[in-house]
Amino acid sequence: MSQPTALITGAARGIGLATARLFLAEGWRVALVDRDVPELAVAEAELADPAARTFACDVSDEAQVAQMMDEVANWAGRLDALVNNAGVADFGPIEDTGFQRWRRVMQTNLDGVFLVSQAAIPLLKRQGGAICNIASISGLRGSTLRVAYGTSKAAVMQLTRQQAVELGEHGIRANCVAPGPVRTKLAMAVHSPEIIAAYHDAIPLNRYGSEAEIGEVILFLCSRKASYVTGQTVAVDGGFEASGVGLP
């Protein structure tokens, strides 16, 4: 049997790249998809692994997604796991969030998950597989700053339930990971010193998570070990969700 293959979007850096490393270490072949071509080249050189291949694609562009999926199919011949991880953040209240800013967040965080999943389904159906969508604890609570980001992530949780119910009969599971804060480029662009301090207080484990701590749960949900888990959102957040406090 040929090697199981995972497709990870937003894999040029951050949580996506850390997750790619974990899949590779477990013997998977990994298609790393990102729109940031220079960062993808750096990631590919760092990985230096024949089981890893990079694909340039903006997940919010339907034509690019279709072409990318063809290229992945030609390279790997199969798809066993799809990790919809590409995301952008933009913090602001509703009155300050212009429509362009709203659309920019929705296009990647929600439209991108829809488009890549839709394009991947024919490949996943061949032998069954798993989808893992990356949302955020920002989609679990209301806040004064996350009208676009939080709304996009809440929608991803619902899209996950839709996928689980619709695709179960094809042997395709769909789950969602809702990470707490991780010190990536995305988070550090929107987390002020006040937000960072407040997160440390609000999170029972009193710290940010690491990229690999998120990736381990993504890998588990995509593996056979999670063969009876579908339609779930798992918060990987140091206990933030359990604590019931508001988002800083």
Min dist CB 59 to ligand NAD, Å, is 4
Q: Residue 230's closest CA among 151, 129, 116? A: 129
Strands of the sheet containing 81-84, edge to edge, are: 52-56, 29-34, 5-9, 81-84, 129-134, 172-179, 233-236
**In the window 189-248, what residues touch ligand NAD (CB under 6 A)?**
none
111 is a site residue for ligand NAD (CB under 6 A) = no
- Binding ligand NAD (rule: CB under 6 A), the pick from 4, 10, 92, 150 is 10
Min dist CB 202 to ligand NAD, Å, is 14
Task: Note the residue count of the chain.
Answer: 248
149 an active-site residue?
A: yes
In the structure encoding, which two tokens stand for residue 244, read together? 């019931």
Distances in Å between the Cα of 240 and the Cα atoms of 19, 123, 200, 205, 216 are 22, 36, 10, 8, 18
Stretch that binds ligand NAD, among 66-74, 84-92, 118-126, 157-165 (CB under 6 A): 84-92
Comparing CB distances to ligand NAD, the nearer of 7 and 186 is 186
Tell me the backbone φ, ψ of residue 134, rounded to 5 degrees: -100, 110
Min dist CB 117 to ligand NAD, Å, is 14
DSSP letter, residue 57: -
Min dist CB 237 to ligand NAD, Å, is 8
Kindly list the residues in this chain that would bind ligand NAD in the complex (CB under 6 A): 9-10, 12-16, 34-36, 39, 58-60, 85-89, 108, 112, 134, 136, 179, 181-182, 184-187
